[in-house]
Structure 1
């Protein structure tokens, strides 16, 4: 049986560009390949192949598909022949035919007939005399005739047996299996949808697989406002996104995909000219739906209602996405004005206002920070510690090591700035008390340089006294084992400097040699170890020797370590280097508070931070030893 899971595995084992490149000349274009379309004559390339997303697309003629579709449409093979040829190439065995699977496929085809007939009946009912209440409701929404026809609005009349009578050519068992009728033991089956405005839910091929219905009679207070079909052989709500078959082509043109809460929001957005919208179906956004979105765009936008329920739904989606994050694939989040859904906003302020809101979508990490920061008052040390614990719990959910490390670093920086705000020193205030002129901050790490015309410039060789002061600063204690090890690692792997430049530039108290390395990030030529050694030597400095970090045997210092492993080890070491001054500043602040107050609370806080400092040192030793052993 060729299950969807087996076919997905087959697609992932085939490199689409290599397959298409056998008969079509492809050119690399960023993260994709481009070519003149093999399906129609053209002079300029409009045909693209994306290996990450696993599909090809022509913006000229609309040709679109995956590896199997390429074999059927371009090579002229039947579906099964295409599957067999690709499976042989991928080293996979094609599952043997299963009579039960064939029977299930036949049943699915028959259920499609049932759903198509039901959709036709619903549409017919909308224009009939009995559909007056549904038409009146649609008039309040302001949808034009084109929108009503495009989305297939219909009406399910009152009456428990109306559908059975209308679709009498289909057996009762099929209507029940399709989710259109409900069977209750000891009672006659009855219609699931009654007295509701109906919308068809379609699959990726545009076939009706389920329905959603909105209640129209206010007297039915115990009935749900929206009712969807149950899961059936055709419909799995956790693996279906409403309107995806229409939104996907629009997303390829706009480069974005917007996720709203419900199908009526999708229709309202489309009526306002925003067609690249989809919605989950009665559940929080699932892992499968997130992956479906990523096949079309790398940063889908979640646009949920501005009420508390909408924001909870957004955070549930964020929690689902965190373990799935991978390079260049994430979510952006929109927070609508409180109390408004997309339709309300468009009606009140117009489509331009909605575009403005979408344009201001925030990154996932920004939303995580804001939500947790504002979740509860942060007036005590325990409150602040709780904030950090919640933030780090989110980080722990991220499975990709590089992304987890970057999230941890960014959230720790935000937390530190929030929990331990910097106070202006006398030097910053003018050095002479009140009335002194304001002076700019010196460079990070007390590094080399003179402040000229608003920027720091390197110390020239003609200023030997400044260079000597720099050397004394290093000799005076700025050289510690961790800094020296990271310095040596960055010089050994210079392509990693840019990766860590921003975090290191924000870290106070670093060895001044870091400033020299960070200055080199702006050079046009590729960084090389020998050139960095020369730059240090020109300032009278040297590459850290093994004696400076003799107690730390990091993997990135081992000549046998590969580039990928060295990069991963450096991430962990730089994380420690960035975390250390934050911890030390907090400990110094707690110690000063204890010395001034001599209170039990101040002493407890100081002891807690001392314990954290000991744990930090232990982690550092363990990490260095573990990396050395693994190398």
Structure 2
């Protein structure tokens, strides 16, 4: 990636995008008082509990609790990463994204026009391969091979499967009409430069599988050799994937995910397999929820994407050692994303079988029965560890403890973490409570702050983030932050933001804090139901601030009093103390004098 997206551009993007217009293009909104409402697009419900505020540029579902701004909505609804959501918004407004150059910059800036041209070329290449499948001199042989693999024309069309011709320069001859086009083909790894000059097609005489990103854009290709004696000798590996390019990063993309999302309004589960032929063969049998990693192990980024898309992930691997090793890598990468309500299972196939061959032998029903009998992730985890450790010895028990605890510590779900600790405790003859104390982030510690009590400070912050214009109704006293009252620095920062930009909205404020520790608390306060009438908001906010201001003065007076009794005050501090006393109510003065 060329560089970080500047903050000013993200702020401007949110300001230019009306959240009602954006969400209404996905979900039909109806006016309801000041706000708009609909049935929530993120969970099933019969009566609408999804509310969108045009004033705040913010949405919230009172049923499932999701909330956020325009970027958050695109991330959740389209299952996009942050940068993809920003790019989607920028594209809809015909804006080119600037990039900050810095030490993290890995390459030259890529313009929006260049990206559009790249994606268009990839799509045209996929169409070219599709055309060759029907019209090339080898098409009869290739189509016979496709039919022999049990694939129908409907499946071929759904996945845009095509054929890369056997000639060395079919693609280059069509698309490389000038030096810039030749270079673009090379940059996108559709062509390879010759040492003597010129270039030749990267894929030749292969069955082609276009790889789409989460937004349905063709970003790469997978090619399978058409089996015959000549090919097997001279044309390289059986499977060949596009190398990484400026539009393709294999550790982030999953073959078939876009098609699976298109086939289901909501994906109840996703089956992850090892190859694109497995994905299309399963789809042919009506199992339209399979995806595949692309010539690499299932990465943490893959797992993050999968658990953002569905509640249940089933990893399907061969039952041999290589399959078990692949399952273990997937398990390690999945643990940090196992939140409450998420499910991870593993299905191991008989020796010599893969999903492609097995589903054709058994059919859909029997294959899905296998999936229902798949192993829970905890069984796979402890079976693997038990093989490596002799649990009849103290040394073996010590070893499994050292291996298991760091893995358990990465699990976010309290329920899953407790369950894993219980299983580990039974294996080594300890109690769950003993093991919990050994975690870096004990379960008890995770449970702190779950009850969100609305203190005066939180009330002030909540009102300010929901109605940033209230910042104008109180004095700006940055010196109060020096008194150290919890939450006051955050309140002062929010007030400063609102004073600098008098038109700032809740959605814009939250975006500024997306990557900060305060974000989750601010989201809760942005959705807090304060039940204060509109005409009383200003007075309520002023009174709350006055209470906080008094707290600060009392805190400072108590600090000076303690210092007076222990160390003595300077003349300046004594004068400050007297001024503070004169500003206090009589009851507070008596407490301080005592």
TM-score range, shorter chain: 0.5 to 0.7
Q: 1:155 to 1:27 in 2, by over 3 A?
A: closer
Cα deviation, residue 104, structure 1: 2.2
**1:172 equivalenced with 2:182 (yes/no):** yes
C-alpha distance 323-36 of structure 1, shift in aligned 2 (>3 A): closer
Of 200, 203, 207, 2:210 maps to 200
**What is the CA–CA distance in structure 2 between the aligned matches of 1:32 and 1:307, rounded to whole Å?**
40
Shift in Å, 1:181: 0.6
Alignment partner of 1:107 is 2:107: no
CA contact (8 A) 1:345 1:354 kept: yes
C-alpha distance after superposition, 1:394-423 (max 9, x if no partner): 334x16484685255223234147x99xxx
The equivalent of 2:138 in structure 1 is 130
- The CA deviation string for residues 13-49 of structure 1, in whole angstroms up to 9 with x for no partner, is x9x99x989632367899787629999xxxxx9x998
Which residue does 2:514 correspond to in 1?
none
- Matched-pair contact (CA < 8 Å) for 1:247–1:275: yes
Q: What's the secondary structure of 1:238's corresponding residue? A: coil
- Structure 2 partner of 1:231: 244
Could you tell me how far 1:176 is from its partner in structure 2? 0.5
Query: Is the partner of 2:288 in helix, strand or coil?
Result: coil
Q: In the alignment, is the contact (CA less than 8 A) between 1:302 and 1:333 conserved in 2?
A: yes
Spell out, residue by residue over 1:82-117, the C-alpha distance to the aligned partner (whole angstroms, 9 max, x if none): 999xxxxxxxxx96899x998522111112222222
Cα separation, 1, equivalents of 2:10 and 2:323 = 35
- CA, structure 1 residues 54+256, in 2 after alignment: closer, same or farther (shift >3 Å)? farther
Pairing 1:137-148 to 2, within 5 Å after superposition: 137-148=145-156
Unaligned runs of 5+ in 2: 24-28, 53-60, 102-106, 432-436, 438-443, 452-594
Question: CA–CA distance in 1 between the matches of 2:209 and 2:342?
Answer: 32
Cα 1:205–1:366, aligned 2, differ >3 Å: closer, same or farther?
Answer: same
Q: CA deviation at 1:266?
A: 0.8
SS in 2 for 1:122: helix
Counterpart of 1:118 (choices 125, 134, 138) is 125
Q: Are 1:415 and 2:427 matched, yes or no?
A: yes
Q: 1:6 to 1:202 in 2, by over 3 A?
A: farther
- TM-score, with normalisation over the residues of structure 2? 0.56
State the secondary structure of the residue aligned to 2:37: coil
Change (3 A) 1:37 1:82: farther
1:370 to 383, 389, 408: 383
Return the match for 1:334 from 339, 347, 352. 347
Helix, strand or coil at the partner of 1:268: helix
Shift of 1:130: 1.7
Q: Which residues of structure 1 form unaligned runs of 5+?
A: 40-44, 85-93, 421-481, 483-488, 497-631
| Larger-gyration structure (1/2) | 1
Q: Deviations over 1:445-477 (max 9, x none)?
A: xxxxxxxxxxxxxxxxxxxxxxxxxxxxxxxxx
2:99 touches 2:109 (CA, 8 Å); kept in 1?
no
Q: 1:549 matched to which residue of 2?
A: none
Look up the match of 1:154. Answer: 162
CA RMSD of aligned residues (A): 4.8
Give yes or no for contact 2:38–2:50 (8 Å, CA) kept in 1. no
Cα gap change, 1:141 to 1:322, in 2 (>3 Å) = same
User: Match for 2:282 among 242, 245, 269?
Assistant: 269
Gap change, CA 1:7 and 1:192, over 3 Å in 2: farther
Q: What is the TM-score normalised by the length of structure 1?
A: 0.53
| SS of alignment partner, residue 391 of structure 1 | helix
Matching of residue 394 in structure 1 with residue 401 in structure 2: no
Correspondence for 1:589: none
Counterpart secondary structure, 1:117? helix
Question: 3-state DSSP class of the match of 1:235?
Answer: coil
Check the 8 A contact 1:239/1:289 in 2, yes or no: yes
Cα distance in 2 for partners of 1:8, 1:332 equals: 41
* Contact 2:391-2:428 at 8 Å conserved across structures: no
Q: Distance between the aligned counterparts of 1:193 and 1:155, measured in 2? A: 9
Structure 1 residue 290 corresponds to structure 2 residue 325:
no
Tell me if structure 1 keeps the 8 A contact 2:176–2:185. no
For residues 389 and 366 of structure 2, the distance between their equivalents in structure 1, rounded to whole angstroms, comes to 31
Matches of 1:385 and 1:255 in 2, distance apart? 39
Deviates more, 1:148-157 or 1:250-259: 250-259
C-alpha spacing 1:152/1:415, structure 2 compared with 1 (3 Å): same
Q: Is the 8 A contact 1:306 1:341 kept in 2?
A: no
Q: Deviations over 1:160-202 (max 9, x none)?
A: 2222123343621111012101125456422111111111111
